[in-house]
Structure 1
Amino acid sequence: MRSSRVRSRGADRDSQVFHLSTVGLDGILVRAARYDCARGQQYNSFDVPVIRLDDFVAQHSIRQIDFMKMDLEGGEFQALRGATECIKSGILRAFSIEFGISNVNSRVFFRDIYDFLVANDYEISRVTPARRLIPIENYSEDHECFARTTTFVARKRQQA
């Protein structure tokens, strides 16, 4: 795709600097102040500037985002809240997020994500290990699975 660009940026609800840490040899990123798994362990810390997606889109005059993959270790919902205008306007057409154990530490339920996306006219599907899409027509507590990571894809509904 000639018009595609990969942009590595941190995203959140507010433009700021996050203090992140790596724990153990596997390099798992955590927000040391909020994640229980970082307490009492040795870790390397560093600061990462983050930006609201709405601000990034405005700064770069982006008119459409066809697909965005987010893997923010529990920070996906905050990043979506920083993309409110992109979501409402449909600039952000489709994206994937992960949901799992990191959401325990970020205190975000799938219900929060589901309600926000449905209110903004997005269809949500779960991606199976076999790469099939299972549409999520209605919220269920069964979607609150923190024991494994589940990938969800959201797509803006087509206007009739």
Structure 2
Amino acid sequence: MKKIKRAFKRNTHSYCFKQLAGLGRALNRLYENRNHDIYSNGELIIHKKLAAFKPKVIIDGGANVGNYSKMLNRFHADCTIYAFEPVKSTFDTLVANVKDINSVVAVNKGLFVNNCQKEIHLFDSSTHSSLFELKGGKKVSNETQTIELISGDSFAIENKLDQIDFIKLDLEGAEYDAIRGFENLLKSKSIKAIQFEYGYINITTKKLLIDYYELLNAYGYKVGKIFPKTVEFRKYDFKYEDFLGPNFIAVNEDETELIHVLENR
């Protein structure tokens, strides 16, 4: 039996196994929901379920041109949505796209751990603007721009927000820093849920999934991965450190009903 196993292993690096390995990786990406389309990756389902809880304040961090904010408004018509977009040209498009939606408040700033100015890398596609220079990929930055950044705690104080129902963070690698900027609100359990992206860019930022788990678990938040029909709340394991993304959600552990609704199909 040992000889058979050794012979088998010696011949695994063959054309046939290479094709099988490629198929396996493709199936794994499908199963682990490497999908950025909000209409099929579970993000839409999240808000169909959240609507029953009648949220009053939502933050769209990384609003880009406003498509996500407009989707939020369809499900939460009576909710104030703060749409953050720091890049001026993209912000102007955002303002134009939401000008007829009074409940969407456009903010020409980015979310970060503190209040400051930083250079952001711009790409041909506005969806990829990032505080980080992307490494290892095909996308190349063509210019930079100085942007204004603000912490979530500071923004909450300025706007007299003592409770935030939902935060979406799509910040091309700066999600971890933005979460840290809500430290006081997290300590007081004043945020019900935070959705954040995790993917290949985390190789560049050196922020692993375990860093998010440790940060959020310490504040009393359960972390789960968003799938097309459910949220799978699960403890951290090395095997989840796959950089496939796209979205995870952290929910205040006291929000037991919300957690139950999100994890039910």
Shift of 1:63: 1.1
Which residue of 1 is the match for residue 233 of structure 2?
135
Instruction: Please point out which of 114, 123, 145 is paired with 1:14.
Output: 114
CA distance 1:45–1:121, change in 2 (3 Å):
same
Asked if the contact 2:193/2:250 (under 8 Å) is kept, the reply is: yes
Instruction: Please point out which of 214, 224, 233 is paired with 1:125.
Output: 224
1: distance between equivalents of 2:80 and 2:165?
Answer: 9
Shift of 1:37: 5.4
2: distance between equivalents of 1:26 and 1:155?
Answer: 31
Asked if the contact 2:121/2:141 (under 8 Å) is kept, the reply is: no
- Relative to total residues, which structure has the larger helix share, 1 or 2? 2
Identity %: 22
CA distance 1:6–1:43, change in 2 (3 Å):
same
2: distance between equivalents of 1:49 and 1:89?
Answer: 26
Instruction: Please point out which of 240, 245, 253 is paired with 1:149.
Output: 245
Count, aligned residues: 155
Q: Tell me, which stretches of 5 or more residues in structure 1 are unaligned?
A: none
Q: Tell me, which stretches of 5 or more residues in structure 2 are unaligned?
A: 1-76, 85-108, 257-265
- Relative to total residues, which structure has the larger strand share, 1 or 2? 1
Shift of 1:74: 1.2
- For the residue of structure 2 that corresponds to 1:67, the secondary structure is strand
2: distance between equivalents of 1:30 and 1:56?
Answer: 21
Structure with the larger RCO, 1 or 2 (CA within 8 Å, 6+ apart): 1
CA distance 1:2–1:30, change in 2 (3 Å):
closer
The normalised TM-score by structure 1 is: 0.86
2: distance between equivalents of 1:75 and 1:154?
Answer: 16
1: distance between equivalents of 2:156 and 2:82?
Answer: 14
AA partner of residue 160 (structure 2): S
Asked if the contact 2:131/2:173 (under 8 Å) is kept, the reply is: no
AA partner of residue 18 (structure 1): K
- For the residue of structure 2 that corresponds to 1:30, the secondary structure is coil
For residues 43-92 of structure 1, give each alpha carbon's deviation from its aligned partner in whole angstroms, at most 9, with x where no partner exists: 02212211010111111110110001000111111111111101111111
- From the CA coordinates, give the structure whose radius of gyration is larger: 2
- For the residue of structure 2 that corresponds to 1:36, the secondary structure is coil
